[in-house]
Amino acid sequence: MVAETQAEPAPEADSDQAAVAAIAQTNAEEGEDETLAARHDIPMEDYEAMPMDRLVSELDKLVAVEKVMSVKDHVEQVKTAFLSKYNHFIDEKKEEFLAENPDTTEEFHYHYPLKAKFDTLYNQFRDKRNVHFKSLQNNLQENLEKRLAIVNELKELINAQENIKDTLKHFNELRERWKNAGPIPKDKYNHVWNNYHFHLENFYDYLHLDRDARDLDFKHNLTQKLKIIARAEELVNEPDVNKAFRELQDLHKIWKEDIGPVSKDYREEVWNRFSALTKQMHDKRELIFESQRERENQNLEKKKEIIGKIEALAQEKMSAHASWQGQVEKVEALRNEFFSAGKVPSEVNEETWSAFKTAVRNFNALKNSFYKDIKKDQNDNLNKKQALVERAKALQESEDFASTTPIMKQIQEEWKQVGHVPRKYSDKIWKEFKDACNRYFERLKAQRNEANEEEMEAFEKKKAYVESMKDFEFTGNHKTDLDAIKTHIETWKTLGKVPFSRKHIDGKFNKVLDGLFEKLSLSKKDTDMMRFANKVEQLSESNDTRKIDNEKIFLMRKIEEVQSEIFQLENNIQFFTNTKNAKKENSIVLEVRKNIEKHKEELSVLKDKLKKVRSLNQE
């Protein structure tokens, strides 16, 4: 049914009409579904600036709200923000997968638990919304037909043939039925209400009712509308413009739905006053929107700047993994900055988002090209590390700790020198290598703990033995006493190895031996060789190849020095024997010859020592 005219006179200015129409449209929507009014109580967050985990948390809270339609706009904004970020995230993962597996025929799949949780929550909301819609839709059309029927009956009242009393009774019944008719489709809301008010006013204007009763009703309605205007005047000065606008919206609803018409003399005046106040409130609200748009434009400039930085990074070619990691960190920081920058004007949102994705995609393409080039190196590294794993596994149960330990340490050093392997194998091969090394060194530690106990026992024995040697007494028989000293040396060898920190006990024993050798009056060579034999024995027990090599080098150099000295002395003798006064130089020559013999004895001892040290390498 089409209305013959509007319920209220049209505002003089188009801007006033636009302000009223904005409220009428919102009220129509909430008139269809009263739960929509609660959406104003739930703040609309800047969902675009939130990371995906936060968006899922927000969705969880929104789905729990009982009035499902009060959060529908919130949920849709969360959905848009989440899917934009998720699709971008999946695109990157797919690009990484294809870069790492260029020849694969395997279809790309990526399981993201957060997406599964999001889908579950959104499906819950959608199910609740569908149930609500189904319940609502069943009633809207029926209620519309009821209200249209009431409008028709109201229209016919003007030409009713019944008496005034019955007509008034019928009129009041229609008003009560109208009040209880329920919500109707929002696209029919204003049209139906305007028709109702048009015929309501016609009833008052053209039906010859009791004028006193009509005037009293007009006066009451005028009083109520003036109260609404007074409250609207207060709302114009309310600091919280959004809160004031929502209350103004409620005042419009009361004006239209709960209060009847006023006298023709005041109709246009009160409506124009109310419309003008609505325009003022609308203008204040537009200033807020303008401020929001300004912030959105600032956000747009910030996002453009971020995109420009990413585009610049997409042009920089790096030549090393560490450099690329630095670039990746920069892009990640810029991406987070982009996501937290806030909303941009809706008309450029898709364009901005597309430019961002393209910039990131170009950067990833450059990065993936680099890693594709080093993929072969990574596979080679994988083969090297697999070989080291096999070597470590082969040695992990070895009982020959002395020879195996240096090899295991060398294997670990080689592992450090090998570069990166493909990421999907990295954790697995490292675990295998680490387990094999840990197995060996744990066994080595257990063996050393056991050996340390034995070494401390050997130290205590040697300590007691050194004390006992203080009571040693010579018999006077040179051979018997020499054999006794040799027996002490052999016994000392059987007492075992001591801890490194207790090596000083060997020095104490050697000092006691030095004293015994001095009292025994052995030849210098015999004494020297016996002492050296004891030293060599200790070197042999230590298994320290470095010390043995150092001793060998020292002896070789010493032999060279002595040989050189002998050669020089022999040259000197030749000089003296060739002079005219050779007889007069006999005393000098004799002294030189004695010196030569002394050096030859020393050379003989040094060669014997070198022979003994070299024999250690042959054992």
Chain segment 104-126, per-residue pLDDT in tens: 777 888 888 898 898 999 898 88
**pLDDT tens string 389-404:** 899 999 888 888 888 8
Contact status, residue 32 vs residue 140, Cβ threshold 8 Å: yes
Contact status, residue 161 vs residue 189, Cβ threshold 8 Å: no
First-last CA distance in the chain: 118
Band (pLDDT 50/70/90 cuts) for residue 387 is very high
What is the DSSP annotation of 19-63?
Answer: HHHHHHHHHHHHHH-GGGGGGGGS----GGGS-HHHHHHHHHHHH
**pLDDT tens string 318-377:** 888 788 889 889 988 998 888 888 888 888 888 998 899 899 988 888 888 887 777 778
Which has more confidence, 485 or 308? Answer: 308
Q: Using alpha carbons, list the distances in angstroms from residue 279 to 20, 91, 236.
A: 7, 48, 10
What pLDDT, on a 0 to 100 scale, did the predictor assign at position 522?
A: 59
What pLDDT, on a 0 to 100 scale, did the predictor assign at position 581?
A: 54
* Burial grade of 125 (CB within 10 A; 0-12, 13-18, 19 or more): buried
What pLDDT, on a 0 to 100 scale, did the predictor assign at position 10?
A: 42
Contact status, residue 153 vs residue 198, Cβ threshold 8 Å: no
Contact status, residue 185 vs residue 141, Cβ threshold 8 Å: yes
**pLDDT tens string 64-75:** 887 877 788 888
What pLDDT, on a 0 to 100 scale, did the predictor assign at position 168?
A: 78
* Burial grade of 206 (CB within 10 A; 0-12, 13-18, 19 or more): exposed
Amino acid at the residue 292: Q
Q: What does DSSP assign to residue 366?
A: H
The SS3 of residue 11 is: coil
Crossing angle of the two packed helices 504-520 and 524-542, in degrees rounded to 10: 160
What is the DSSP annotation of 210-255?
Answer: -HHHHHHHHHHHHHHHHHHHHHHHHHHT-S-HHHHHHHHHHHHHHH
As given in the structure block, the two tokens for residue 329 are: 């960190």
Mean pLDDT of the chain: 80
Q: Provide CB contacts within 8 A for 316, sequence distance 6+.
A: 327
H or E element at residue 311 = helix 264-313
Which has more confidence, 79 or 530? Answer: 79
In 3D space, the residue among 283, 299, 288 whose CA is nearest the CA of residue 346 turns out to be: 299
As given in the structure block, the two tokens for residue 270 are: 């009160």
Q: What pTM did the predictor assign?
A: 0.49
Band (pLDDT 50/70/90 cuts) for residue 538 is low
The residue-averaged pLDDT of 214-239 equals 88
As given in the structure block, the two tokens for residue 258 are: 């709960």
Q: Provide CB contacts within 8 A for 99, sequence distance 6+.
A: 368, 369, 371, 372
The SS3 of residue 258 is: coil
**Interatomic CA distance for residues 298 and 304, integer angstroms:** 10
Q: Which of 45-54, 230-239, 381-390, 465-474 has the lowest mean pLDDT?
A: 465-474
In 3D space, the residue among 275, 269, 271, 247 whose CA is nearest the CA of residue 259 turns out to be: 271
At CA 612, angle to CA 611 and CA 617, rounded to 5? Answer: 90
